[in-house]
């Protein structure tokens, strides 16, 4: 593997992380939590509690947990790397 390919894979991993954060916090969060005040009087399930908690600095509204951040980083990096390796293999076959 050349240095150019390693740099390309690294940049793809970073791009994957950025896109995963954009998807997570702009799209998915708005779908899952259309009204953050809903949770003032309603309970949550275990899966929701893994990804969000209710800190006082947010006024009791859902806020992503550390697990949510780590999960988003790992998924984004893996998808970026897999996509880049797939593209590199595809380009080298031609």
- Model confidence pLDDT, tens digit, residues 8-60: 999 999 999 999 999 999 999 999 999 999 998 999 999 999 999 999 998 98
Mean predicted lDDT score pLDDT of the chain: 92
pTM for this structure? 0.85
Q: In this structure, what token pair is assigned to residue 37?
A: 């005040």
- Long-range contacts of 62-69, Cβ-Cβ distance < 8 Å, separation of 24 or more: 62/33, 62/36, 64/24, 64/25, 64/29, 68/24
Torsion, Cα 43 74 16 9, to 10 degrees, reads 180
* pLDDT given for residue 2 in this prediction: 84
Delimit the domains of the chain by residue range: 3-93
pLDDT (tens digit per residue) in 78-94 = 999 999 988 878 767 65
CA distance 19 to 16: 5
């Amino acid at each position: 593997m050349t240095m150019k390919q390693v740099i390309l894979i690294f940049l793809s991993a970073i791009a994957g992380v950025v896109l995963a954060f954009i998807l997570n916090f702009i799209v998915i969060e708005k779908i899952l939590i259309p009204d953050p005040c809903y949770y003032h009087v309603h309970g949550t399930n275990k899966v929701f509690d893994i990804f969000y908690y209710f800190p006082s600095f947010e006024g009791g509204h859902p806020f992503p947990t550390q697990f949510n951040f780590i999960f988003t980083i790992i998924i984004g990096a893996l998808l970026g790397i897999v996509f880049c390796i797939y593209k590199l293999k595809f380009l080298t076959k031609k």
